[in-house]
Structures are given as structure tokens and as C-alpha cells.
Chains A and B, each alone.
Chain A
Amino acid sequence: MAAKTIISRPIYGTLSPQPGKHHLFIADAEGALAIIDMAGKAPPGFFDGTEIVFIPGPEGKHIAALEALKPAQLHIAPSFASLLPRLKQTLTNAHMGLRLYLSGTEGLIGQAMQVALEAGMDHTSMQTEHRGSLARRMQCVHCKGITENVTTQPALCAHCGLLLLVRDHYSRRLAAFQGVCINAEDRSEVPPMEEAFP
């Protein structure tokens, strides 16, 4: 579970079936389990109007379980970037009444939500559930580069190479946590790197 104490951090809930005829699920890795758990509470016919977009984790689990729900469409994508054009297209053609369900890592939830908000979707039409890794998507405040899947504290910026303190400060606009240089005064001071966001 993600810490709940920081105000800028998003609060995640538990997916529950919403009324309506069109449902779009976007999940990564363990996020599939949130869909599968929710399916038990869904009314008959719910998945007839449902599209699931799934980014499997490295072990490629849960695809068969999602297939078994018999959604109208199941789309497997290797990464968020690869599903983005399709997601944008879906949202452009979508109408009021579409319900969005996001489950999995914070990086996925944050980025998908951002795309949906940009498409004009109301936040009350969206549900989220955090599952799986606590890995963070981090923006380096110095070079502005985004580093995905940060699990350590401090962490290296994949772009400029600075050693960054991963702050709890979360930007909804960027769907990323802020990373600030941890040893700006004296670069030779290198604090130990710990696995902080498993």
C-alpha cells in the first residue's frame, strides 16, 4: 500500500462496477488482479461493453484470467507508450457515460488519468486501485527528465546522472514524483542506496 500521509499524493480506492454500458479498464501487472476481484461483483453482461487494455509484468501473468472474463475487447500492450495512440483514439471517440477503471502501479494510473483528463473526461467517471509494485515515476527537477520504475532511495536520474532524493511530492500534471539532487554541496558524499519502493 502506498503511504496516505502526503497531501499531494493521489488516494487510490478499490475498483467497483459502475452503472453504464461502456467500461474501459487499463491495468498493468498485478493490476489485473483488481479487475479479476471486481468481476465477482459485476452484474451479468457487464463485460459485454468492456474493453480491457493490459500491460503484463515481466512474467507475463494474468492474461488468461482476463481472457476468461470475456470482455468485448482485450488488448495486450508491451508498454504505456505503445498503448497511448490507441488510448487517445478511444477517448476521442468516446461519449459521456464511459467509465474508466485504472489499476496497477502509480506510474500507470497517473499517466492514464492524465490522458483521460486531457480528453475532457470528468474525474468522477474514473476509478483507481493501486496494486503491485510501489515503483515511482520520477521527474528530475534539474534536467526535467522522467525516470520510470524507480525503486531505490536515492535514485539515479537516467538522463543527467545526478543522484536524486525521491521526494513524496507528487505532481498530477506530470504523473511523477519529484527527484532533487541529494549531494549538491559535495558530490563525493554518496549516501547508500536502499530499496525503498519495492
Chain B
Amino acid sequence: MSTGTTKLDVVVSDVVPVNELVTRFHFRRRDGELLPTFSGGAHVVVEMRDGDRTRLNPYSLMGSPLDTREYTISVRRDDVGRGGSLFMHRQVKPGLEMVISYPVNLFSLDLRAKKHLMLAGGIGITPFMAQTSQLAGAGGNFELHYTCRTASLGTYADVLQQRYGNRVRLYHDDREERIDLDRLLSSQPLGTHLYVCGPAGMINWVRDRAAALGWPPETVHFEHFAAPQPGAPFDVELAVSGKTIRVGEQQSLLEAIEAAGVDPPYLCRGGVCGQCETNVISSDGKFIHNDHWLSEEDHRSGCKIMPCVSRFEGKSLVLER
């Protein structure tokens, strides 16, 4: 398998429904040993063997980095997605043996920061669960602003408020509570770093405002795992391996390449890490880019694609793979 994706054999030690949409899963090592250490913001890729299909989805670790007896992830049910979250919700029970990747951190804290300002939207709260534990343990200075649809969907809002009191601020969409972003960003002490995890729209909004208000890009960290979108099937020629493959409606291009026995690099499978970047040799049609890695220029050029999340529509596509 690919770079940094060494596997861990685990068993599901607990499954805990958190609210109507979110369920938490606990994993322990099958051999009873401790799991590898990680830092707040890390994720693992969970392999879901569902009949003859294998899905690989990234999930942020949300437990305390100080406790490596188990890993915990929280999965929000997505009824219109490609089925990964439904598989987790319906098929995964305590005692099930699963395989997950080693943790990889693409959203780590910059510990040189004087203060950490965190903005979470919805299920984007999970990496902050681990980061706040890590910072609280080390006496770090942080403040978390968490937007959720309703109080009952404010996953872990109660736990966080209990742990950190007024360092946690909640905003409920149904009560028309909105973060006063410009004010918040304009009132932070020098040396603050900003972290955002949530829906793409929120991330773009926060990044735009931070840039406009003078925050250097190096101080703005974000993570958004784009879920691969289903779409019309399309054919791809893999020039290096000399294969022609078909990407199914519910399959990602990366999954289709893997299913053909080719082993391309990946880390996040969510369009953020850049590992899977692939050169396009020729194309006749339209790219559907869903990643957060390539620049707009790259997207327009049609010379590159991130197969973990992006698709293609048209007559022909030849990749250097």
C-alpha cells in the first residue's frame, strides 16, 4: 500500500450513538498493545469491507492524544453519499475486526502560536476534540467557536462546555445565532493562529475574511475532507500501467484505479493532502474538481487531477498512472 498508510489491525470495542445523526466508534488493537501516538488533528483512513466493495474513508481522531489505548472517531450519517457512513452506522458493531491506517496529521496545531482560535462547523468539531484535549493538558491558550444547526445536533457541545467553560462559544443556526467573524478576527492578540474545520462554504468564508483582514496564510489552518461525490460513470486510460478502466457511479477515480490492481499514492482520500496528484496526459471533456489541493489555475489548466475526490465527464481521459 501507499506512503504512510501502514495498516493497524483493530477491533471495534464500542459503538455509541451520540445524537440522531452521529455515532461514535471506538477501536482497540487486536493484539492488546497500545496504538501509535498521534497529535491533535490527525486522522485515520478506515477500510470498510462491504461485500465485494471496499471503501476507504478518512475520519479525524477525536480522543485525547494522551490516551492511546483506543482511538475514537465520530461518523455523521450521510443518507445521499456513497454509502461509507451508512455502512459504519448499519454494519459496524462491537467486536467487528477492521483495518485502519496509521494516523496522519494534515491539520496539526502550530505550537509556536501564542493563542489558538478554533472555528468548527457541524461534524467539523471532531479534530478539535483532540486538539483541545492536547492543549488543555499543556496549559495552551485556545478559544473554540462552534456552529451547529440545532442544539440537539451540537455534537459534543455539552462535553466541551463542561470541560472548558467559556472558552467554548456555541452558535445555533435555528436560533439565527451567527458568528461575528470580522469582529472576532479583528480582536485577536498578535501571534494567534486560526484553525477551521467544517463545510467547504464555511472554510472558504473564513479563509477569505482572514486574508482580507491581514492574517498571513501561514497562520490560517483548515481541514475539509471532501467526500468523493457520486457521478456519471466514465472511462479512463492509465498510460503507465497500460490499462483502461471504468469508474462506476458510486466509485471514486482513486478506488477504480486501485480496483484495477494499480497502487497509486494517497494519504487523506479527501482532497487535502496532495499525495494522489496525477498528471493528465490528454483529455477531451470536462473535469469536476472537488479537491482543496490544486490551485484554481491548475484546475483550469486541465493538466492535473486529484483522483481521490475528482471526476470527469466527456469523451476521453488519459492519465499518467
The residues of A with any CB-CB pair to B shorter than 8 Å are 18-22, 91, 94-99, 119-122, 124-125
Known interface pairs A18-B214, A19-B211, A19-B212. Does A95 touch B188 (Cβ–Cβ under 8 Å)? yes
Assess the B190–A94 pair: CB atoms within 8 A.
Answer: yes
Centre residue among A19, A21, A94, A96 by max chain B CB count within 10 A: A96
Assess the A120–B189 pair: CB atoms within 8 A.
Answer: yes
- 1/0 per position for B180-199, CB-CB distance to A under 8 A? 00000111111110000000
A113 to chain B, nearest CB (A): 13
Task: Give the distance in Å from the alpha carbon of A56 to the alpha carbon of B103 in the complex.
Answer: 56
Assess the A19–B191 pair: CB atoms within 8 A.
Answer: no
In the complex, B96 has a CB within 8 A of chain A: no
Which of B67-75, B147-155, B215-223, B245-253 contacts its partner? B215-223
Which residues of B are found within 8 Å of A121, using beta-carbon distances? Answer: 190-191
In the complex, B213 has a CB within 8 A of chain A: yes
In the complex, B114 has a CB within 8 A of chain A: yes
Known interface pairs A19-B211, A120-B114. Does A96 touch B218 (Cβ–Cβ under 8 Å)? no
Chain A to chain B contacts (Cβ below 8 Å), 25 pairs:
A18-B214, A20-B212, A21-B213, A21-B214, A22-B214, A94-B190, A95-B187, A95-B190, A96-B188, A96-B189, A96-B191, A96-B215, A97-B185, A97-B186, A97-B213, A97-B214, A97-B215, A120-B190, A122-B216, A124-B216, A124-B217, A124-B218, A124-B219, A125-B216, A125-B219
Assess the B219–A122 pair: CB atoms within 8 A.
Answer: yes
B13 to chain A, nearest CB (A): 41
For the side of the interface on B, what is the size category?
A: 10 to 19
Task: Give the distance in Å from the alpha carbon of A97 to the alpha carbon of B191 in the complex.
Answer: 10
Centre residue among B190, B192, B219 by max chain A CB count within 10 A: B190
Task: Give the distance in Å from the alpha carbon of A143 to the alpha carbon of B219 in the complex.
Answer: 40
Task: Give the distance in Å from the alpha carbon of A98 to the alpha carbon of B176 in the complex.
Answer: 31
Which residues of B are found within 8 Å of A18, using beta-carbon distances? Answer: 214, 216
Residues B33-92 near A (CB distance < 8 A): none
Task: Give the distance in Å from the alpha carbon of A18 to the alpha carbon of B210 in the complex.
Answer: 13
Which residues of A are found within 8 Å of B213, using beta-carbon distances? Answer: 19-21, 97
Assess the A96–B185 pair: CB atoms within 8 A.
Answer: yes
Q: Smallest CB-CB separation from B114: which chain A residue?
A: A120
Which residues of A are found within 8 Å of B185, using beta-carbon distances? Answer: 96-97
Assess the A20–B214 pair: CB atoms within 8 A.
Answer: yes
Given known contacts A95-B190, A96-B186, A125-B216, what 11 new A-B pairs fall within 8 Å (CB)? A21-B186, A96-B189, A96-B190, A96-B191, A98-B190, A99-B214, A120-B114, A122-B218, A122-B219, A124-B217, A125-B214
Task: Give the distance in Å from the alpha carbon of A169 to the alpha carbon of B218 in the complex.
Answer: 29
Assess the B192–A96 pair: CB atoms within 8 A.
Answer: yes
Which residues of A are found within 8 Å of B218, using beta-carbon distances? Answer: 122, 124
Task: Give the distance in Å from the alpha carbon of A96 to the alpha carbon of B114 in the complex.
Answer: 11
Which residues of B are found within 8 Å of A125, using beta-carbon distances? Answer: 190, 214, 216, 219
Task: Give the distance in Å from the alpha carbon of A21 to the alpha carbon of B187 in the complex.
Answer: 13
Which residues of A are found within 8 Å of B188, using beta-carbon distances? Answer: 95-97
Task: Give the distance in Å from the alpha carbon of A97 to the alpha carbon of B190 in the complex.
Answer: 8
Which residues of B are found within 8 Å of A99, using beta-carbon distances? Answer: 214
The 6 nearest A-B residue pairs measured at CB: A20-B214, A97-B214, A120-B191, A124-B216, A96-B188, A120-B190
Known interface pairs A96-B185, A97-B185, A120-B114. Does A91 touch B214 (Cβ–Cβ under 8 Å)? no
Which residues of A are found within 8 Å of B217, using beta-carbon distances? Answer: 124
Task: Give the distance in Å from the alpha carbon of A167 to the alpha carbon of B187 in the complex.
Answer: 43
Known interface pairs A96-B185, A96-B219. Does A119 touch B214 (Cβ–Cβ under 8 Å)? no
A183 to chain B, nearest CB (A): 43
Which residues of A are found within 8 Å of B189, using beta-carbon distances? Answer: 95-96, 120
Which residues of A are found within 8 Å of B191, using beta-carbon distances? Answer: 96, 120-122
Q: Smallest CB-CB separation from B117: which chain A residue?
A: A96
Assess the B214–A19 pair: CB atoms within 8 A.
Answer: yes
Centre residue among B192, B212, B214 by max chain A CB count within 10 A: B214
B109 to chain A, nearest CB (A): 14
Assess the B190–A91 pair: CB atoms within 8 A.
Answer: yes
Residues B248-264 near A (CB distance < 8 A): none
Task: Give the distance in Å from the alpha carbon of A22 to the alpha carbon of B213 in the complex.
Answer: 8
Which residues of A are found within 8 Å of B215, using beta-carbon distances? Answer: 20, 96-97
